[in-house]
Amino acid sequence: MKSTFSFIDKRQGSVKDDILSGITVALALVPEAVAFAFVAGVSPVIGLYGAFMMGLVTSILGGRPGMISGATGALAVVMVSLIKEGVDMGGESAGVQYLFATIILAGVFQMLAGLLKLGKFIRMVPQSVMMGFVNGLAIVIFTSQLGMFKVDGEYLSGSPLWVMLGLVGLTMAIMYLLPKFSKKIPAALVGIVVVSLIVILGGIETETVRSFVVSKGGTGIKAGLPDFNIPMIPFNMETLRFITPYALILAMIGLIESLMTLTLVDELTETRGSGNRECVAQGIANITNGFFGGMGGCAMIGQSIINIKSGGRGRLSGIVASLSLLAFILFASTYIEMVPIAALVGVMFMVVIGTFAWSTFKIINKVPVADVIVIALVTILTVIFDLALAVAAGVIVAALVFAWENAVKIRVTNVTDDKGVKHYIVHGPLFFAATTSFISKFDVKNDPKEVVISFEDSRIMDQSAIEAINKLAEKYQLIGTNVHLRYLSHDCVKLIKRAEKICDVNILKDPDYHVAINDYRKKVELLKD
């Protein structure tokens, strides 16, 4: 996927790059945080607080410098029903209080995941799932920006639409052309500033951050510092039963999206972050949100790519982005509310172009059909449902395909030596999907009284394989045949207890564990000798 992100400079970051990139990201965070807050059904200030605290804590403690966290749509969708049920249980003001308590519990689960080293399991996600993930997320980012073309629930038309499109196009053109001449200042920041000045000085009427917030029912983004509060809910078993399922879902979705984004940023920067450390940081950030009135969140792929593209590489970029967002809320709300939505949409459209794995179309005829299906499946599920479901489904399908492909690799050859002993030589991995085929390779009824089964070119993978060997040994025992199992590893010998009692189990030498051998005739000839 490296070619997909060829617009990203691999140079090392600097303090200047991190600061300018952080300011750019902060500008892009404002409409996203506000929009996701309204999706969840909470005040825009709660969304902005959530973005500020998530970004600050994860930037300082997280496992991936340069990655940006904040309020996200994937979590906001789950929060809708949580808040609704909370209102039904305790009244109008109780919904958000249950949200804060759930966010705290989700953070605890995320910290436990990191402390238990569960972050390493992100390595099990295959490349086909990653490609589907970025494609689906690019489509989701694109469709979310289309909502910015609406006013009072209706899409723009006529000259307001053309003005919006023109400003979006200008922002995208600046971001595309400026890096060809200079990379000293983030192109996204220049695009936002230039388009904002054109709109303000030219008196152009178009949607701004303020009009967007007002259209969603808010009054602006100005607010004070977040206050510490313990969620005002009953602390009893009923509450725990209510919030625990939501907390688990939020924790899982948050970690999957964060770890997938971490892996993607690793590829973009050709460095490596720590998944387990990121899990802990995400947990601490969400716990902080719960106690200080934020809506929580996780890593944001769009803002992370803006940061990387703008030159942000270190922790400073995320810290600056978070503190800048707080400064906007406290001191500069009047000016930030004047920024045209078109400039921010243009930035996000460039993120979409950079995020989508365009190489997908080039490899369709070059990779296995199963991989193409997985890419399409994950893409579609990400768009229709959510990231967690899409990734889980993709991993399961990819695992089943892998299991089937390896199951058909099991082969058993045989030869009878001059002493009348029949030798079976097993080739390929023996695991749950291959056990039926494995047992069918043996002619138990017609075999001589002495049988040797060699596993030198095989690997015993799981309990199903061990049970298959036990069952085969029992079949031979019933007809009085002596079975000798050879070249088993030490751990397998310890596990095959039943076979030990009814046949000869030993190790002639430590197996090399070739998965398959092309030329086994030489071995057969040696057995005959």
The pair of structure tokens assigned to 461 is: 């993978």
Please, are residues 357 and 1 in contact by the beta-carbon 8 Å criterion? yes
Q: pTM of the prediction?
A: 0.76
- Max Cα separation, the chain? 100
Superfamily of domain 408-528: STAS domain (3.30.750.24)
Which residues on adjacent β-strands are paired with residue 337?
Answer: none
Neighbours of 57 (CB within 10 A): 23
- Block residue for tokens 């490349």: 127
**Which is nearest to 384 in space by CA: 77, 32, 37?**
77
- Cα 361 vs. chain centroid, distance in angstroms? 22
The percent of residues in the chain predicted with pLDDT above 70, rounded, is: 90
How much is the average pLDDT of 8-22?
78
How much is the average pLDDT of 78-93?
87
Mean pLDDT of the chain: 86
Please, are residues 363 and 119 in contact by the beta-carbon 8 Å criterion? no
pLDDT at residue 70, rounded to an integer: 94
| Lowest mean pLDDT, pick from 34-43, 113-122, 165-174, 350-359 | 34-43
Please tell me the distance from the alpha carbon of residue 467 to that of residue 384, in angstroms, as a whole number.
42
**At residue 6, does pLDDT exceed 50?**
no
**At residue 201, does pLDDT exceed 90?**
yes
Cα three-residue angle 170-173-176, rounded to 5 degrees = 155
Give residue 10's pLDDT band: very low, low, confident or very high (50, 70, 90).
low
Please, are residues 124 and 260 in contact by the beta-carbon 8 Å criterion? no
How much is the average pLDDT of 53-74?
93
**At residue 188, does pLDDT exceed 70?**
yes
pLDDT at residue 490, rounded to an integer: 66
Please tell me the distance from the alpha carbon of residue 95 to that of residue 373, in angstroms, as a whole number.
41
Please, are residues 52 and 274 in contact by the beta-carbon 8 Å criterion? no
Residues with Cβ within 8 Å of 279's Cβ and at least 6 positions away in sequence, in order, are 63, 110, 111, 113, 114, 118, 119, 255, 258, 259
**Tens of pLDDT, residues 244-296:** 999 998 999 899 889 989 988 998 888 889 999 999 999 999 999 999 999 99
pLDDT at residue 13, rounded to an integer: 65
**At residue 529, does pLDDT exceed 60?**
no
Please tell me the distance from the alpha carbon of residue 238 to that of residue 246, in angstroms, as a whole number.
14
Cα three-residue angle 311-123-386, rounded to 5 degrees = 75
Please, are residues 464 and 432 in contact by the beta-carbon 8 Å criterion? yes
**At residue 2, does pLDDT exceed 60?**
no
pLDDT at residue 500, rounded to an integer: 57
Please tell me the distance from the alpha carbon of residue 157 to that of residue 15, in angstroms, as a whole number.
43
Please tell me the distance from the alpha carbon of residue 196 to that of residue 346, in angstroms, as a whole number.
12
The percent of residues in the chain predicted with pLDDT above 90, rounded, is: 47
DSSP of 324-377 = HHHHHHHT-HHHHTTSBHHHHHHHHHHHHHHHS-TTHHHHTTTS-HHHHHHHHH
- Cα 424 vs. chain centroid, distance in angstroms? 45
Give residue 516's pLDDT band: very low, low, confident or very high (50, 70, 90).
very low
**Would you list the domain boundaries of the chain?**
15-399, 408-528
Give residue 102's pLDDT band: very low, low, confident or very high (50, 70, 90).
very high
Conformation bin of residue 487: beta by default, left when phi > 0, alpha when psi is -120 to 50: left
**Tens of pLDDT, residues 125-139:** 888 988 898 898 889
Strands 298-299 and 69-70: antiparallel
Helix, strand and coil in the chain, % to nearest 5: 65, 10, 25
**At residue 512, does pLDDT exceed 50?**
no
**At residue 174, does pLDDT exceed 80?**
yes
Neighbours of 432 (CB within 10 A): 15
| Lowest mean pLDDT, pick from 301-305, 309-313, 322-326, 386-390 | 386-390
| Lowest mean pLDDT, pick from 97-106, 131-140, 334-343, 444-453 | 131-140
**Tens of pLDDT, residues 415-473:** 998 889 999 999 988 999 999 999 999 999 999 999 999 988 888 888 888 889 888 98
pLDDT at residue 499, rounded to an integer: 56
Residues with Cβ within 8 Å of 359's Cβ and at least 6 positions away in sequence, in order, are 1, 3, 4, 131
- Block residue for tokens 């050859």: 413
Strands 450-460 and 422-430: parallel
pLDDT at residue 39, rounded to an integer: 76
Residues with Cβ within 8 Å of 405's Cβ and at least 6 positions away in sequence, in order, are none
Which residues on adjacent β-strands are paired with residue 430?
Answer: 460
Conformation bin of residue 420: beta by default, left when phi > 0, alpha when psi is -120 to 50: left
Give residue 1's pLDDT band: very low, low, confident or very high (50, 70, 90).
very low
Give residue 338's pLDDT band: very low, low, confident or very high (50, 70, 90).
very high
Tell me the backbone φ, ψ of residue 379, rounded to 5 degrees: -60, -50
Which residues on adjacent β-strands are paired with residue 428?
Answer: 458
